Amino acid sequence: MRVAMISLHTSPLHQPGSGDAGGMNVYVLQTARHLARRGVAVDIFTRATRMGQGEIVEVEPNLRVINIIAGPYEGLAKEALPTQLAAFAGGMLQWEHCHDVSYDLIHSHYWLSGQVGWLLRDVWKVPLVHTAHTLAAVKNAHRSAEDTPESEARRICEQQLVDNADVLVVNTDQERADLVEHYDADESIIRVIPPGADTELFTPGSDRATERTRRELGIPLHAKVIAFVGRLQTFKGPQVLIRATAELMRRDPGRALCVVICGGPSGQHATPEEYAQLARELGVERRIRFLNPRPPQELVALYQAADIVAVPSYNESFGLVAIEAQASGTPVVAARVGGLPLAVAEGETGILVDGHEPEAWADALGTLLDDDETRIAMGEAAVRRAASFSWCAAAERLEELYEDALSVGVADCPQRFASGKER
């Protein structure tokens, strides 16, 4: 089986935590790796963003990343990428022709990739599997007051994909419900496949390793540490954690607390400075450390060094950070949104918080920081929880889904028009 994966707007080889790179990058790369190890040949098509990176990157046997030239290498904002969909689709068609390769199935990730996949599905006459990862209607329903709403154009494009894809893959039952509620999706074509975590890399650390990491980061050994890992954007909620930190310190000015925020800015006008400025305005700048994004091999040490990992997002399709943190033996305090209630076992491996008010977050964080016995027990249970999610299992289920899609074949497009499904 040969699969064309499409990740147009961000390469799976980019560093998660900055720009447009995040959990989706991890998902695409890890599922592709494990599919390749099962004998499925996977080519991931992404947009070339710098000269000299090469057209083909051989990641491992059966897995390649193909860099397609579509627009300028640099300086093209994510908001402008829809102007390059035709160029990207043309680049993929040229690649197929020049390299004399054919694909059995297309798996697109995110709506921009889905639009390209929809076109190529009908050209190549192969099934289209689509994973949205995030949805405009859901983001708009859960966004904070200061966050920029997603465009109606994006929502319309997503609706077209829901109506025309052969299979829709989601991470959780909540995502399936969201597709039905907001996009009137046909439940019969939706498949729920939970993501995983690299539980061989993300493991609990020793006390000595934790002390070494804290010394390297300049964190007092006696301080309690809360970590945030992710892109610095309003939707991910770093401002929620900063305000909760200020509330914790207002309640107990002598508290030995250090908050580590690891990530880079995401969005056209985003900068790390706005979050540093918020910390200064609230008087907690000495309590908060900002770190640049780190590769997984270094990120595990941060998870291990933290007493708690906070995930204050306004919505998460699943929450890979929550799983990685738990695999590393660290309990999680997360917002009760999206797939996070599945990732975090409330009361066992962490705490779920309703809403994003600083007082509620300070309550949850303070309770766990002050209860060493419960926090340590949660960390031990968290490792067991994370072990139930694996990339191997996700890839196995994806391969089965691909085989089912191939056995059914491509949907009859004229019938779709006749039935009124096209919008």
Write the pLDDT tens digit of every residue in 128-150: 999 999 999 999 998 877 778 99
**HSE (CB half, 13 Å, CA atoms) of 78?**
20
189 and 261 share a domain?
A: no
180 and 64 share a domain?
A: yes
61 and 141 share a domain?
A: yes
Q: Is 30 among the annotated ligand-binding positions? A: no
Q: Is 224 among the annotated ligand-binding positions? A: no
Pairing of strands 332-335, 308-311: parallel
CA distance 34 to 358: 40
Q: Is 330 among the annotated ligand-binding positions? A: yes
Q: Is 275 among the annotated ligand-binding positions? A: no
If you write DSSP's letter for every residue of 69-101 in order, what string do you get?
A: --S-SSS--GGGGGGGHHHHHHHHHHHHHHTT-
187 and 214 share a domain?
A: no
Residue given tokens 């929809």 in the structure block: 118
For residue 201, is it within any domain? no
- Token representation of residue 273: 């400075």
- Name the residue range of residue 239's domain: 207-387
For residue 202, is it within any domain? no
41 and 139 share a domain?
A: yes
- Residue 160: CB atoms within 10 A of its CB come to 17
CA distance 167 to 323: 26
Q: Is 367 among the annotated ligand-binding positions? A: no
Does residue 50 surpass a pLDDT of 90? no
- Residue 375: CB atoms within 10 A of its CB come to 18
- Token representation of residue 329: 């033996």
Query: What pLDDT was estimated at residue 415?
Result: 38
Q: CATH number of the domain at 126, please.
A: 3.40.50.2000
For residue 8, is it within any domain? yes
Does residue 411 surpass a pLDDT of 60? no
Pairing of strands 167-170, 128-131: parallel
Helix 372-387 / helix 358-370 crossing angle, nearest 10 deg: 100
133 and 68 share a domain?
A: yes
Domain count, the chain: 2
Q: Is 20 among the annotated ligand-binding positions? A: yes
Q: Is 70 among the annotated ligand-binding positions? A: no
Kindly report the backbone phi and psi dihedral angles of residue 221, in degrees, each rounded to the nearest multiple of 5, phi listed first: -65, -25
User: Which range scores top for mean pLDDT: 1-5, 146-150, 388-392?
Assistant: 1-5
Q: Is 287 among the annotated ligand-binding positions? A: no
220 and 299 share a domain?
A: yes
173 and 235 share a domain?
A: no
- Average pLDDT (19-47) is 91
245 and 382 share a domain?
A: yes
Does residue 293 surpass a pLDDT of 50? yes
For residue 271, is it within any domain? yes
Query: What pLDDT was estimated at residue 417?
Result: 33
230 and 180 share a domain?
A: no
For residue 313, is it within any domain? yes
Q: Is 314 among the annotated ligand-binding positions? A: no
CA distance 271 to 289: 15
220 and 150 share a domain?
A: no
**HSE (CB half, 13 Å, CA atoms) of 306?**
30
Q: Is 214 among the annotated ligand-binding positions? A: no
The DSSP element (H or E) to which 108 belongs, if any, is strand 105-109
144 and 255 share a domain?
A: no
